[in-house]
């Protein structure tokens, strides 16, 4: 008989699940959200990692990059002989401008000479369209795909550029991708801007003369033998390149594109590992509330089963299966949803990061994670209820329940002496009579709201960074940057251009900070004594005075170097005469983004023994003169890049809404699912507990709405009670997460945006109203006779 037909207890299980299907589904969906998030993140992490590794490997992405001013080809032999180096190439890299008809804004170009090694070139390009340049035709180039796409450029088109003040016209032979420019960001820029940054690959013979580097190179790239530590090789490289203006070799961990990718991976991982437990906790909580209530209402049935001789274990297993079923359904939905979202997100990433291929990893291990986590969650969720069921004494369980005991005690009815109507009194008495149950629901709703609050704060924090960076700190209209530090007088020529109302020069220098055993590749920015266009502000946006002498270090940089105010740290300049000097830290500044270091421009120049030099300038420009000015500036010979603040801001916003920012949209959606899930479950439970009362009220002649109010009023009351607790939970979560998500590049500011509380609160109230509406419909359908008969 067994095996052929389903066991009666399992039939009960299935029918019970069906009876509360709405609730079960709500829990499953909360569970699914957590699992989906995990599967999606793990899938994306695996995909990105796999793709990155395969891409880097197949196209031989360099392990070490070392820039120099001018190193003779002979030096390559010496570099190649360093132990652990498996391949080395010298190449010419440099900046320029692209001139596209009809585009006023200057376009930054990065030139890279192509490897002469045809068999195993380092940092090889992947030609998407067209062909490789013909070696005998000096004017043929490869162009970065993103840029080509942004301007509709195709192989065969011509491309006018300005290199070192000289104008040339190249012909596009092909459109390409490179592991060096997965995240193609212009030097010094903050965000990807496809139409303003071009990477141009040309032959060495073409580029070397253009950059005055015949017979020489200004960057060496290395592949290391397997298992060789870059840190061991770098000092050797630096020693060899030092006489040729070596600027300090760095491993690809500091390579811009790679670093952004790694950051992205790190954030994804952090998200997955922070968010999944939060979602799991909410699922566990919901399961606990629902199963506990089932055990509570099925006391008699449990007693009955026990009287037949069913063991505690068998009965416990019955309720555990119930939790497990819901959890497994959730895991299945979550797993499938996670795979789907992972695919969608991977597609978005591929648009955003340029890979020649993107392997979406359907890692089957995620099934195990999903199943394992859900089983674990179900176990935790059910354990107390199952234990209660196991412990129940059969005779005890089957005694018909005594009518609920209501006291007229002062505590329980305090404040109820207000002139309240009967139903409202019923609501308040009930909440007060079962404080723990009410509190549990309040906390569940509050947890959901906390998630919402956190997502809102996250959003606000990003807006805060953008606003601070582009409206408060940087108040310039444009930033120009020269190919190298030039004389101040030349820079001040800029102010003579039409429409320029203010010029604020700056000097920055690439350096390596060294303190004790700690090193950091960074830069020092020299600012004028009272900057007005790009100010030095701390994370609270208060102006920080830049000392006349010595370093003003950002706090995270100081932390990286284990240095503090008063310490002298070693600064190895990577440009000019490349002196190594020690500079005293005279102040620290808390910052929002990055790890900057500031000095006064005079002090910086004096220490470099290059008085009166500037690297670029911030400009204030009359609005109607901007377009004309952009056209004019393109003719300035030493100009390396121009950025327009508004455009940078737009790019950032675009990245946040269209690129990886979609992740946040998904998270916000999940937070809403949780809020609705919790509130709806609470409402269903309250409804089920009050079926008898509701039926009685209806029999006594109360209208459907009046009867429904007893339940909906309770839900709304609990939801409102949850608001302040939810706000507190949100603030705590956000404090934790903003710290956990902060990286060296981004200190996620822990701002608490009151509007975020409002939005999250509205989400909860909205969820409560939706739940109330659904419950009122159940009340409308309530069959009085069966409600009185069946104890459900």
Partner 1 sequence: MFPGALLDRFAERRQAAHSQDPDGFAFRASGLTKVYGDGAAAVHALRGVDLEVGRGELIVLLGPSGSGKSTLLNILGGIDRASAGVAFYESAELTAMSDRTLTAYRRRHVGFIFQFYNLMPSLSARENVDLVGEIAADPMDAVEALSLVGLAERVNHFPSELSGGEQQRVAIARAIAKNPDVLFCDEPTGALDSKTGIEVLRVLKDLNERLSTTILIVTHAAATAAMADRVMHFSDGRIREVVTNESKADPADIHW
Enumerate binding residues for partner 1 (CB under 8 A).
1-2, 7-9, 11-12, 15-16, 19, 300-301, 303-312, 314, 393-396, 398, 400, 786, 789-792
> Least distance from C-beta 322 to partner 1, angstroms?
12
Nearer to partner 1, 393 or 762 (CB): 393
Q: What is the largest CA-CA distance in the chain?
A: 102
Nearer to partner 1, 301 or 630 (CB): 301
Query: In the complex, what is the shortest distance from the CB of residue 754 to partner 1, in angstroms, rounded to a whole number?
Result: 49
Residue whose CB is less far from partner 1, 311 or 582:
311
φ, ψ (nearest 5 deg) of residue 570: -85, 135
Residue 523 in contact with residue 542, Cβ under 8 Å? no
Shorter beta-carbon distance to partner 1: residue 311 or 657: 311
Nearer to partner 1, 400 or 415 (CB): 400
Distance CA 577, CA 525 (A): 17
> Closest distance between partner 1 and the C-beta of residue 8, in Å?
4
User: Whose Cβ is closer to partner 1: residue 400's or residue 517's?
Assistant: 400
Q: Where are the beta strands (DSSP E) in 99-226?
A: 107-114, 126-130, 140-144, 158-163, 166-177, 197-203, 216-224
Question: Which of 88, 323 has the CB closer to partner 1?
Answer: 323
Asked whether the CA dihedral 158, 162, 164, 167 is positive or negative, the reply is positive
Least gap, CB of 407 to partner 1 (angstroms): 15
Beta carbon nearer to partner 1, 580 or 786: 786
Closest distance between partner 1 and the C-beta of residue 458, in Å? 45
Rounded to the nearest 10 degrees, the angle between the axes of helix 312-352 and helix 645-658 is 150
| φ/ψ (deg, to 5) at 708 | -60, -35
Strand extents, DSSP E, 362-492: 478-487
Burial of 243 per CB tally in 10 Å (0-12, 13-18, 19+): exposed
Q: Alpha-carbon distance 146 to 163, whole Å? A: 21
For residues 531 and 27, what is the distance between their CA atoms, to the nearest angstrom? 56
Is the Cβ–Cβ distance between 579 and 608 less than 8 Å?
yes
Q: Measured at the alpha carbon of residue 310, what is the angle toward residues 304 and 311, in degrees to the nearest 5?
A: 120
Is 131 or 399 the residue whose CB approaches partner 1 more closely? 399
We find the least distance from the C-beta atom of residue 306 to partner 1, in angstroms, to be 7
How many residues does this entry show for the chain? 792
Q: How far apart are alpha carbons 192 and 213 in whole angstroms?
A: 29
Least distance to partner 1, CB of residue 12, Å: 5
Give the rounded distance of the alpha carbon of 272 from its chain centre: 11
Residue 14 or residue 665: which is nearer to partner 1 going by CB?
A: 14
C-beta separation of 503 from 491 below 8 A:
yes
Cβ of residue 393: shortest distance to partner 1, in angstroms?
Answer: 7
Minimum CB distance to partner 1, residue 712 (Å): 26
Strand order through the sheet with 249-251: 85-91, 216-224, 64-72, 249-251
Question: At closest approach, how far in Å is the CB of 303 from partner 1?
Answer: 7
């Amino acid at each position: 008989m067994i095996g052929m037909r389903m066991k009666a207890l399992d039939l009960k299980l299935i029918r019970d699940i069906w009876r509360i299907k709405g609730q079960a589904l709500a829990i499953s969906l909360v569970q699914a959200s957590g699992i989906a998030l995990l599967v999606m993140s793990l899938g994306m992490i695996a995909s990105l990692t796999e793709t990155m590794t395969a891409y880097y490997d197949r196209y031989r992405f360099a392990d070490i990059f070392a820039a120099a001013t001018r190193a003779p080809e002979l030096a390559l032999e010496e570099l190649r002989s360093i132990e652990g180096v498996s391949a080395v190439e010298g190449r010419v890299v440099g900046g320029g401008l692209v001139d596209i008809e009809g585009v006023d804004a200057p376009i930054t170009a990065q030139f890279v000479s192509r490897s002469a090694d045809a068999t195993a070139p380092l940092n090889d390009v992947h030609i998407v369209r067209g062909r490789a340049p013909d070696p005998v035709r000096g004017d043929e180039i490869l162009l970065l795909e993103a840029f080509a796409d942004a301007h509709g450029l195709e192989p065969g088109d011509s491309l006018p550029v300005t290199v070192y003040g000289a104008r040339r016209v190249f012909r596009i032979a092909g459109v390409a991708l490179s592991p060096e420019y997965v995240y193609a960001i212009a030097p010094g820029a903050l965000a990807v801007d496809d139409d303003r940054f071009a990477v141009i690959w040309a032959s060495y013979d073409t580029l070397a003369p253009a950059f005055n580097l015949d017979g020489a190179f200004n960057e060496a790239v290395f592949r290391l033998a397997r298992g060789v530590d870059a840190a061991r090789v770098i000092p050797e490289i630096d020693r060899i390149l030092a006489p040729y203006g070596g600027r300090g070799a760095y491993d690809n961990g500091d390579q811009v594109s790679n670093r952004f990718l790694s950051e992205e991976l790190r954030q994804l991982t952090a998200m997955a590992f922070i968010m999944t437990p939060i979602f799991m906790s909410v699922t566990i909580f919901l399961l606990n509330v629902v199963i506990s209530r089932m055990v509570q209402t099925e006391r008699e049935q449990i007693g009955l089963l026990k009287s037949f001789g069913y063991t505690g274990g068998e009965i416990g297993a019955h309720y555990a299966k119930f939790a497990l079923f819901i959890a497994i359904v959730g895991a299945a939905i979550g797993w499938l949803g996670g795979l789907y979202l992972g695919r969608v997100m991977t597609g978005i990433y591929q648009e955003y990061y340029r890979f020649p291929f993107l392997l979406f990893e359907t890692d089957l291990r995620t099934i195990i994670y999903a199943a394992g986590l859900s089983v674990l969650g179900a176990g935790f969720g059910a354990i107390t209820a199952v234990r209660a069921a196991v412990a129940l004494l059969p005779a005890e369980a089957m005694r018909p329940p005594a009518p609920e005991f209501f006291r007229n005690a002062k505590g329980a009815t305090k404040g109820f002496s207000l002139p309240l109507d009967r139903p409202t009194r019923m609501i308040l008495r009930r909440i007060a009579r079962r404080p723990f149950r009410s509190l549990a629901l309040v906390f569940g709703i509050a947890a959901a709201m906390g998630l919402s609050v956190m997502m809102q704060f996250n959003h606000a924090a990003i807006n805060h960074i953008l606003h601070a960076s582009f409206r408060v700190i940087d108040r310039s209209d444009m930033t120009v940057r020269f190919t190298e530090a030039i004389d101040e007088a030349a820079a001040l020529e800029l102010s003579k251009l039409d429409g320029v109302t203010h010029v604020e020069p700056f000097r920055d220098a690439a350096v390596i900070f060294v303190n004790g055993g700690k090193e950091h590749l960074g830069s020092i920015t020299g600012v004028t004594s009272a900057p007005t266009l790009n100010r030095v502000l701390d994370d609270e946006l208060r102006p920080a005075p830049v000392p006349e002498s010595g370093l003003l270090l950002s706090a995270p940089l100081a932390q990286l170097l284990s240095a503090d105010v008063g310490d002298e740290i070693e600064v190895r300049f990577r440009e000019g005469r490349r002196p190594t000097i020690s500079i005293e830290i005279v102040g620290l500044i808390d910052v929002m983004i990055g790890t900057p270091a500031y000095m006064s421009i005079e002090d910086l120049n004096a220490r470099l023994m290059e008085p009166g030099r500037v690297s670029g300038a911030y400009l204030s420009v009359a609005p109607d003169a901007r377009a004309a000015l952009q056209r004019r500036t393109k003719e300035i010979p030493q100009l390396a890049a121009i950025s327009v603040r508004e455009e940078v801001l737009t790019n950032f916003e675009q990245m946040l809404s269209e690129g990886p920012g979609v992740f946040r949209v998904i998270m916000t959606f999940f937070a809403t699912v949780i809020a609705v899930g919790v509130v709806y479950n609470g409402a269903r439970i309250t409804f089920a507990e009050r079926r008898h009362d509701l039926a009685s009220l209806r029999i006594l002649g109360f209208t459907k709405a009046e009867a429904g109010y007893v339940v909906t009023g309770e839900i709304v009351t609990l939801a409102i009670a949850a608001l302040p607790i939810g706000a507190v939970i949100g603030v705590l979560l956000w404090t934790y997460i903003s710290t956990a998500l902060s990286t060296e590049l981004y200190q996620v500011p822990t701002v608490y945006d009151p509007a975020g509380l409002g939005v999250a609160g509205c989400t909860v109230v909205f969820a409560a109203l939706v739940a109330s509406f659904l419950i009122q419909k159940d009340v409308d359908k309530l069959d009085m006779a069966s409600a009185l008969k069946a104890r459900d």
